[in-house]
Structures are given as C-alpha cells and as structure tokens.
Homo-oligomer: A and B are copies of this chain.
C-alpha cells in the first residue's frame, strides 16, 4: 500500500526538476486513514491529533479537513478499515457455530492487534463496522436455526458481549502501556483486590488466582460458548 510514498516523492523532487505530472501520492481520504492507523498503532489513541497527522502527511490541517469531516469521522473510518477485513475473512462454508466463534475471534484478534479499535467500537455502536459484525452474527444465527423472532435478541446479546470486552480490553491496553507489561498489570490489580475486606468481597478474593493466570482470548471464547449454550437452550 505504498507506505513510503512520501519519501519516494521527496527523493524524486530532490533529484529531478519538478514536472507537471499528477503526483500519484496526492493527499486522499485513503492516505489520511492509513496514516491515522499508523499513529494509533504506534502511539495509541491520545497520540492521534490533527497536528501529528499534518506533520506525518506534511500538509496543513485544512487539507485534512478537505477530505475528512472531523475527528469522529476519521476514527470511524479507521475502525471500519480494520473491522471490514475481519468480517470478510470469515470463510462462508463453515458450520454456523464455528462461524460465530470465528467472527468473535476475528474481532478479538483485531482489538488485540489494535487496542484503540476496542475503544472506538464501544463508543460508537451504530457505526458501519459494528453493523457488519451484527449482520454477520445474525446471518449465522439464521443458519443455526434460531427462530426469526429470537434472532434480534440473540444477535444483540452476542454483539453487546463482544463490544463489552472490546471496551474493557482497550482500557486495559491503555493502562498496560503505562505499566511494564501485562503480568505486572494483573499483579497490581490483584494487589488492589487484596486490600479489600474479604468479608465484603469474598468472590474477588476467591478468584484472584484465576485472574493472575487466565488467558484473555480463552475467557472471551468461553463467554461466547456460554451464550451459544443459552441460545441452544431456548431453541
């Protein structure tokens, strides 16, 4: 996708006299979204500012606003970009239950690779990216034989669960960025739990060991399976 096009252009300008030919790397909505994703991946949500963007794209802020209405739209576009790949990646031939797990896993992995996507998904629920996931889940529920009346609620339950984890995971990533690593972060959470009165918080004390060595992805899929089991029960 021509990530180095800016450098190429600058080299060309330095070695050749400028020509009137159309620059192939002219500013475009696509290039802006791409640059935004690079900033978000490298330095997190807080680092994405129009100033950072115009520096990276070597342009003025007004130029960015020519292609993108505002920051909300830009964030929605970056999220759509990442999620679109997930949903279309799910192979159409799979068995419905496996397909649902694959969709959920795909969203999980996308958030794992780009934590800022989690924050964005849970903040803007009716954006296109979320619709894509909702549609994909709903189709598979149909294939699974869930009666039409119940499909809306079931898809909604799965979607809310996925979005809930999305937000949680994104927030976790935000905190871990400040700490050293994941296990140190979990240890500090466990420490805080340990300071709570065991008489008032018996459950938290009980599950602290599980907190410390649980696998996020596995726990996420366990939740999906739980909801699928519930769907089986009402079917």
Q: Are B231 and A125 in contact (CB under 8 A)?
A: no
**Chief secondary structure at chain A's binding surface:** helix
Q: Are A163 and B167 in contact (CB under 8 A)?
A: yes
Interface size on A, residues (CB 8 A): 60
CB within 8 Å of B: which A179-235 residues? 189, 192-193, 196, 200-204, 206-207, 210-211, 214, 219, 222-223, 225-234
**Given that A152-B210, A229-B230 are known contacts, is A204 also in contact with B164, CB under 8 Å in the complex?**
no
Is A48 engaged at the interface, CB distance under 8 Å to the other chain?
no
CB within 8 Å of B: which A146-169 residues? 148, 151-157, 159-168
Q: Tell me how many chains of this kind the complex includes.
A: 2
- Chain B neighbourhood of A134, CB < 8 A: 203-204
Rounded to whole Å, the gap between the CB of A85 and the closest CB of chain B is 16
Q: Are A167 and B123 in contact (CB under 8 A)?
A: yes
Given contacts A134-B203, A160-B161, 20 further A-B contacts (CB under 8 A): A122-B164, A125-B172, A126-B172, A135-B204, A139-B202, A142-B203, A152-B214, A153-B219, A153-B223, A156-B219, A156-B222, A157-B222, A159-B164, A160-B165, A160-B223, A161-B161, A162-B164, A163-B168, A229-B234, A230-B231
A-B contact pairs, 24 of them (CB 8 A): A122-B168, A125-B167, A126-B171, A134-B204, A135-B203, A135-B204, A151-B207, A152-B211, A153-B219, A153-B223, A153-B226, A155-B207, A160-B161, A160-B165, A160-B223, A161-B164, A161-B223, A162-B164, A163-B168, A225-B230, A226-B230, A226-B231, A229-B233, A230-B230
